[in-house]
Amino acid sequence: MASSKTALFFGSAFVVMLMTVITIPSNVDAACPSPQILLGACGQYVLGRNPPPPPYAGKCCNILRSSSASCICSSIPAYARSSISAKAVSNVRSSCRVSGSCPGF
């Protein structure tokens, strides 16, 4: 009888651990925008010679304020960094009132 209780306990513990492992990464990934979403929301504010600042209540600022700086930085593909204006990034941070920054900007 003790062995079936032990098996039930370890089986239940395994299910709880498995659910935790599956749940945690999905929550973390949900907070990070994909490069396509980030480009679609913020591209017009960081690309080009003199891009306009984004509206504070707009999609770009909402994404930046709801995500961590490290998450945003990891969403910027390396090949796109040379096309992004450092001055424009500064303007976006100011307009959106976010303080994080990515290396190289």
- Per residue in 15-57, pLDDT (tens digit) is 333 333 333 333 344 568 999 999 999 999 999 888 999 999 9
**What CA–CA distance (Å, rounded) separates 54 from 42?**
8
Strand partners of residue 84 = 47
Residue of 100 and 6 predicted with greater confidence? 100
Provide the mean pLDDT of the chain. Answer: 75
CATH 3.40.50 is the classification of domain 32-105: no
Residue ranges of domains in the chain = 1-31, 32-105
Structure tokens at 81: 């960094």
